[in-house]
Structure 1
Amino acid sequence: MTFNCEWRGDFDNAALNALHAEGFGYPVAQTDWREQLERYSLGWVCAREDGSLIGFVNVAWDGGVHAFILDTVVAQHHRSRGVGSALVATAAHEARAAKCEWLHVDFEEHLRSFYFDACGFQETPAGLIALSRRGPNAGPL
């Protein structure tokens, strides 16, 4: 399998919505990713194979030295082949080039090995407040 990763790669909203639905197991949404990314993100990385979108990661930021990995997703039939770690490596490279000093990520426990072992993130103390009942530690609203 040969694929390439492209920083701020072009994409079709429908293709990205379909990839997210497959990757995260929910119905296809009608999110305007282009609008959202252009407004709030430092950039994003698209992984393609033979012209098809097979992976994606969003790099949000605070406008300063902190960047944040969000929405890392790889098409199911391309997982465990290095696509996800290549997406994150490209995101880290470009965030560093933009003078960011920190790259943050949060994740579910089953992704621990991916982010720590495959991508090189270090464990740090962090905190989380679930602001909706959908969150893992949602408290009273």
Structure 2
Amino acid sequence: MTIEYEWRGDFDNASLNALHADGFGHPVGRTEWRARLERHSLGWVCAWEDGALIGFVNVAWDGGVHAFVLDTVVARHRRTRGVGAELVATAAREARAARCEWLHVDFEERLRSFYVDACGFKETAAGLIAL
């Protein structure tokens, strides 16, 4: 298994919609990912295996020193092999290279060990308002 990680990788919307549906367990959507990412993101990381998109993470930002990990997803058949952790590590390196000082992430309790143990995030106090 040779997996390549690419910062601001060239993907098509159909492939990312299919990966997102597989990874998050919902029907395949029709999101215009490219336009959304170009408008709101510092960058993104694609994981490729044999030309297929098997992983993705979005790195949104505030235009300054704060970057935010969103939509971390790995194809179900490639989970538990370190792909997600490498996606996040690549995102952190690239955010650092862009002079960001902080990389934030919000996650559900079931993902705590991934983000804290596997990726090295530190727990912080945070707030949330459901809209």
TM-score (structure 2 length as normaliser): 0.99
**1:59 equivalent in structure 2:** 59
Q: Which amino acid aligns with 2:98?
A: A
CA offsets per residue over residues 80-113 of structure 1, 9 Å max, x none? 0010000000000000000000000001111100
Which whole-Å CA distance do the structure 1 matches of 2:50 and 2:21 have between them?
Answer: 21
**1:139 equivalent in structure 2:** none
Whose Rg is larger?
Answer: 1
**2:115 equivalent in structure 1:** 115
Q: Which amino acid aligns with 1:40?
A: H
Tell me how large the CA RMSD over aligned residues is: 0.4
Which whole-Å CA distance do the structure 2 matches of 1:124 and 1:108 have between them?
Answer: 14
Which whole-Å CA distance do the structure 2 matches of 1:24 and 1:51 have between them?
Answer: 21
SS of 1:103's partner is strand
**2:3 equivalent in structure 1:** 3
Which whole-Å CA distance do the structure 2 matches of 1:88 and 1:4 have between them?
Answer: 14
Deviation of 1:2 after TM superposition, in Å, equals: 1.6
TM-score (structure 1 length as normaliser): 0.92
Q: Which runs of 5+ in 1 are unaligned?
A: 132-141
Which whole-Å CA distance do the structure 2 matches of 1:130 and 1:39 have between them?
Answer: 24
Q: Which amino acid aligns with 2:6?
A: E
Which whole-Å CA distance do the structure 2 matches of 1:107 and 1:125 have between them?
Answer: 13
